[in-house]
Structure 1
Amino acid sequence: MQQVDVQSTPRLVGFPWYDSSKTRDLWSGFWVVMHQMLLSRGIQNLPFELDRKTDPRDQWINPQLLLSQCCGLDLHYHDMDHIVPVARPAIPELQCEPGDYYSYVIVRGDVKNSGRIVVNNERSRSGCTSLLEWLRNRGLRPELTLVSGSHQESIRYIKQGIADIAAIDAYSASFLDMTELKIVGTTRPTAAPPFITRLDIDIPRELLIEALEEAVRVKGVSLGITEVIPTERDAYSDLEADWQNGSR
């Protein structure tokens, strides 16, 4: 059986949380800046292009993972013990502390019922547990929970009357079609989804942070990001408590 030489296999880089059809070129340019800097520091086997084909969960378990993104909730699953957060983006458009984010709670303009909710993913803070928490704090319980697969699909569910209420990552919302929708609230701010790498990565974490900072300096304005904040797991400890206390 032929063995694969991981030392010569290209590393894997993807930004699956915010890389969409509308932002594709922007994130590609972001990676170009990082690529050039890391290459100048002697880092080898860097991919020329971002990985947009691999499911995020498959990215995270890939031994060649260099950089990806995940939800803060994901860090509390046992299958993520080999993953460490690197940094999180600061988004000045959002009315919260730098490095935090929240979601918009949305309905159609003519809908007042909150019985049918749609979530993007059951492991999502922005689209699932934040909405359940928001509803619970108002004494409301969903009668039906649908899973759409993405924020964009959740918006479609609301617009087509398939569901009544959803929570959409407020940063993502700036790149999505929110027409015909009404924002009825915002969820509790928490630490934004982090850039992540493997615990056993052979590159200093500080170098990844430096490369992210350079990419933000050059390309951040177009993405609405002003800085990246070095981040540890404990920044997401409140999400673990939410999960254990039944926000799901």
Structure 2
Amino acid sequence: MYNVSAGVRAGYEALFAALVDVLRADGFRDAVELERAPVLPHFWKRPDMLLSQTCGYPYVTGLRAHVGLVATPVYAFSGCEGSDYSSAIVVRANGAIGALADARGCVAAANDIDSHSGMNALRHAVAPLARGGRFFSALKWSGSHRASLSLVQAGEADLAAIDCVTLGYLRREAPSSLDGLTILCHSAPAPALPFVTGAAVPHAVRQCLQSALLTPSAELASLMAALSIRSFAQCGDDDYARIGALADEVRACGYAQLA
């Protein structure tokens, strides 16, 4: 989910490989294949998916029956608090937008319709300001947070909501991708992106993964630190229901779709 650079990708692959080693030490003998370019959301619905990270919005809107929660990362980035994260609403620096209300009639960029951080969080932020079910003059679906940032930099969009973890990794890995941009405000907090297993993964395997993440070895802790993960928390359906509650608040405002 945070494939912003070769270094970050390698860091997550190393973490997953170390977790497979933990399973092997516990007697796990099944073959494991690393899928580097999964087709989402279909991949998340595979019953034999050993481990992945998913967004909380698709989890509450349709994945719950297909996956089991393992643990939620506690990231060491601005905009994160405990196992919660938020979206940074980003605009061009020295532009005309000084407050969220100033963005009325502007163009927004969003990564994906199923994204909490890029769509649902932004929709929740502007819902109280919408009139007749609209706030923006146009919406551009970019395909990724990084592409949304590029649209704002280029003046093709005026605003985007960016996962603060993505933003943290980009500050470290590709700072030029943030040139000329500034954070206007942050969205409401929500539980961060959970690690999950497929529905057919045995409970004992899921428990082993969960235990390894909640009480990491020195090796795992080192790999986590390289990814700016302080620790992992055990979040459940009640925690992720907060994301659904934000969507309910939006609908109560008569603003069902980001527009």
TM-score, reference length from structure 1: 0.85
Specify the code of the residue in structure 1 equivalent to 2:109.
Answer: V
Q: Give the Cα separation in 2 of the matches to 1:52 and 1:120.
A: 20
- 2:40 corresponds, among 51, 56, 68, to 56
Aligned residue runs from structure 1 range 67-78, under 5 A: 67-78=51-62
Task: Please tell me whether the aligned partners of residues 216 and 226 of structure 1 are also in contact (alpha carbons under 8 angstroms).
Answer: no
Specify the code of the residue in structure 1 equivalent to 2:42.
Answer: D
Task: Please tell me whether the aligned partners of residues 86 and 232 of structure 1 are also in contact (alpha carbons under 8 angstroms).
Answer: no
Q: Give the Cα separation in 2 of the matches to 1:54 and 1:21.
A: 17
Q: Name the structure where helix makes up a greater proportion of residues.
A: 2
Q: Give the Cα separation in 2 of the matches to 1:170 and 1:78.
A: 24
1:122 aligns with 2:113: yes
Q: Give the Cα separation in 2 of the matches to 1:46 and 1:164.
A: 47
- 1:87 corresponds, among 46, 71, 95, to 71
* 2:51 alignment partner, SS class: strand
The CA deviation at 1:95 is 4.8
**2:247 corresponds to which residue?**
243
Q: Give the Cα separation in 2 of the matches to 1:220 and 1:79.
A: 26
1:40 aligns with 2:25: yes
| 186-195 or 127-136: bigger deviation | 127-136
The CA deviation at 1:158 is 0.6
**1:181 corresponds to which residue?**
181
Task: Please tell me whether the aligned partners of residues 86 and 196 of structure 1 are also in contact (alpha carbons under 8 angstroms).
Answer: yes
Task: Please tell me whether the aligned partners of residues 153 and 179 of structure 2 are also in contact (alpha carbons under 8 angstroms).
Answer: no
Task: Please tell me whether the aligned partners of residues 157 and 163 of structure 1 are also in contact (alpha carbons under 8 angstroms).
Answer: yes
Residue segments in structure 2 that go unaligned for 5+ positions in a row: 98-102, 171-176
**2:192 corresponds to which residue?**
192
* 1:133 alignment partner, SS class: helix
- 1:134 corresponds, among 125, 131, 153, to 125
Residue segments in structure 1 that go unaligned for 5+ positions in a row: 1-16
Q: Relative to structure 1, is the Cα distance of residues 201 and 169 closer, same or farther in structure 2, using a 3 angstrom cutoff?
A: same
Count of paired positions: 231
* 1:145 alignment partner, SS class: strand
Q: Give the Cα separation in 1 of the matches to 2:116 and 2:188.
A: 10
Specify the code of the residue in structure 1 equivalent to 2:73.
Answer: P
**2:150 corresponds to which residue?**
156
The Cα RMSD (Å) is: 2.0
Task: Please tell me whether the aligned partners of residues 77 and 168 of structure 2 are also in contact (alpha carbons under 8 angstroms).
Answer: no
TM-score, reference length from structure 2: 0.82
- Larger RCO of the pair (alpha carbons < 8 Å, separation 6+): 2
**1:222 corresponds to which residue?**
226
